[in-house]
A = this chain, B = another copy of it.
């Protein structure tokens, strides 16, 4: 068994995270992201997602933004939750991540953070948000999991073990590996040069091992 940071159990309603961050994409409708959203504390929302969360019975720990995208009644009733982070160069997802790490977690190192509602709507945002997971992994040394209605993305490196169920759909996105191979997959992975090359693979049993010499991203569907 590799050390803990290279083992990725299945994500489920019971998965535990150190924090959840809710963005402005499609609000989750699947039971797994919805349950994680309701169970995880602290919950930090990107601006407009704050009023969305409140309207659905959640109580955000903090809402990052000036509230310009929130209705006035929400903005005044929950004024104490709003925090402006002045960084012209970063978007709300990064501001929310920095706030969470700097103000809400006792140790930021290797914090497990669930990212929700980061996809859907504009596809350039989806691409950007997925790419930001890689940035946070590298720059903030956290373990981000991007959770959607269809599955989840995790960032991993070197040799890692992924819990799966038989026939689970898996896609592997090579980020920086010149060497990449694996076990437990229907089609043997290789050091993919393009994102489309590693999609549409399938787990054979209850675990997949990836051997690599750099960073890669794994998508497992539900």
Q: Which of B128, B150, B195 contacts A196 (CB 8 A)?
A: B128
Q: Are A151 and B129 in contact (CB under 8 A)?
A: no
Q: Which of B120, B121, B153, B199 contacts A125 (CB 8 A)?
A: B199
Q: Are B219 and A135 in contact (CB under 8 A)?
A: no
Scan residues 114-137 of chain A and give those whose CB is less than 8 A from a CB of chain B: 119-132, 134-135
How many A residues touch B, CB cutoff 8 Å?
Answer: 31
Task: Determine if A179 is an interface residue (Cβ-Cβ < 8 Å).
Answer: no
**What is the oligomeric copy number?**
2
For A171, the chain B residues whose CB sits under 8 A away are: 124, 127-128
A134 CB → nearest B CB, Å: 7
For A130, the chain B residues whose CB sits under 8 A away are: 123, 127, 195
A88 CB → nearest B CB, Å: 10
Task: Determine if A157 is an interface residue (Cβ-Cβ < 8 Å).
Answer: no
Q: Which of B124, B126, B135, B194 contacts A123 (CB 8 A)?
A: B126
For A194, the chain B residues whose CB sits under 8 A away are: 131, 134-135
Q: Which of B91, B119, B128, B200 contacts A195 (CB 8 A)?
A: B128
For A196, the chain B residues whose CB sits under 8 A away are: 91, 127-129, 131-132, 135
Q: Are B128 and A123 in contact (CB under 8 A)?
A: no
A217 CB → nearest B CB, Å: 9
A100 CB → nearest B CB, Å: 18
